[in-house]
Amino acid sequence: MKTIAALAALAISLGSRVQAQTLPTAPCFIYDDDKIEAPCSVSVKNTSSYSIRLYGADAEPEFWSTAAVNGSWADAQGRGFNKNFLYITGANKEGVKIPMTHPVLARHNDSTPTQWQVSFFVPSAFSRNETSVPTPTDKDVTIQRAPLFKVAFKEFPGFATEKDFLSCEADLRAALAADGVATLGGTDWSRVWAQYDSPFTLFGRHNECWVRVQ
């Protein structure tokens, strides 16, 4: 029974990935084994050193809850995660519980390096219709509509440290420069650090550094 259900879910999720650009009727699962919803994306290119994906190309809008945190990477990880977690567990005007999704994103830039934006993806059950996205009660948490954005990314395993992300991003930018791929700076989606696993997952952890490209 379990296997059949898993296969059905896999078939649905593969179908939804193929159709993501035109007909987002089902949630998009990137990592099918854990069935945690992720934003729909379209794979654009794979090279030996990086890959490129397009997000936000859906016909239907997608939304991210975003906590603004001033401080270090540890503050972004701690307070940023907690503020979003409180939002999905009931700190919203509607008092509803929202399923956990992935990845968890941390965004910042070199002009204001201590100002972080930490985001959870709002699952499709709530986000296909803007008026049904629950309203955060914490003033530092806002709802942002995902822009159409293309990212180059590299992945790495384990518990991600700030050093790991900086090194991932340096390698990625060097590979992009070598290939003549133009990056797109100066937006709040230009530089993103993505983590896919809960703190309780010890093995097979998956992280990605994203750089927005043109």
Residues that bind ligand NAG (CB under 6 A): 43-46, 51, 68, 70, 109, 111-112, 115, 117, 129, 131-132, 140, 186-188, 190
Residue 3 vs 112, nearer CB to ligand NAG: 112
Distance in angstroms (rounded) separating the CA atoms of residues 176 and 170: 10
Residue 113: CB minimum distance to ligand NAG, A: 9
Residue 176 · residue 213 · CB < 8 Å = yes
- Provide the minimum distance between the beta carbon of 130 and ligand NAG in the complex, in angstroms, as a whole number: 8
The C-alpha R_g of the chain, in whole angstroms, comes to: 17
Give the residue with the Cβ less far from ligand NAG, 2 or 110. Answer: 110
State the minimum distance, in angstroms, from the CB of residue 68 to ligand NAG.
4
For ligand NAG, give the closer residue by CB, 18 or 159: 18
Phi-psi region of 113 (alpha: psi -120 to 50; beta: other; left: phi over 0): alpha
- Closer by beta carbon to ligand NAG, 70 or else 89: 70
What is the per-residue DSSP string for 150-181? EEEEEEEESS--HHHHHHHHHHHHHHHHHHTP
Please give the structure tokens belonging to residue 174: 């060097």
b (16+ CB within 10 A) / e for 137-165: ebeebebeebeebbbbbbeeeeebeeebb
Kindly tell me which of 112 and 214 has the beta carbon lying closer to ligand NAG. 112
Give me the least distance between CB of 69 and ligand NAG, in Å please.
6
Q: Residue 112 Cβ, how far from ligand NAG at the closest point, in Å? A: 5
Shortest Cβ 54–ligand NAG spacing (Å): 10
67 or 88: whose CB is closer to ligand NAG? 67
Cα–Cα distance measured from residue 139 to residue 14, given in angstroms and rounded to the nearest whole number: 38
